Amino acid sequence: MRAVLQRVRRAKVEVEGSVTGEIGQGFLVLLGVEEGDAQDDLDYIVRKTAGMRVFEDAEGKMNLSVTDIGGALLIVSQFTLLGDARHGRRPSFSDAASPEQGRYWYEKAVDLFRQMDIPTQTGVFQADMQVELVNDGPVTMLLDSRKRF
């Protein structure tokens, strides 16, 4: 499982002109599910996201997590995070999970974040989405549950 965390001042997702999710300060989380992902992969991504200390404390140091600041999450599914562009110019998406598996793990991630009492908004799985954000910093973190980077 892969995730791109973007520290934002605000972010929103629109589908067909309607806002489906919108947050203030927190993380925009782009989430990609890989073939063979399991509960351990999900637990790693959720734990790392909730605990990632990249928000500034009173001294201006990146020392606080999204939960520490009372921030929110906007979770957007993005299978293209599993694209392999090492060969040629057209990426291969053969490592991405099937839509059924992707939806299952995406929905479980959303549920886990909500169970942690982190305000969580979403995009629409498999929809053509327009994502707007004000990246704060910019601060962007890459997570991979199989720790390949």
- Residue positions annotated with a catalytic role: 78-80
Name every residue whose Cβ is closer than 8 Å to that of residue 38 and which is 6 or more positions away in sequence: none
Give 82's strand partners: none
DSSP 13-59: EEETTEEEEEESSEEEEEEE-BTT--HHHHHHHHHHHHH---EE-TT
* Contact call for residues 29 and 78 (beta carbons, < 8 A): no
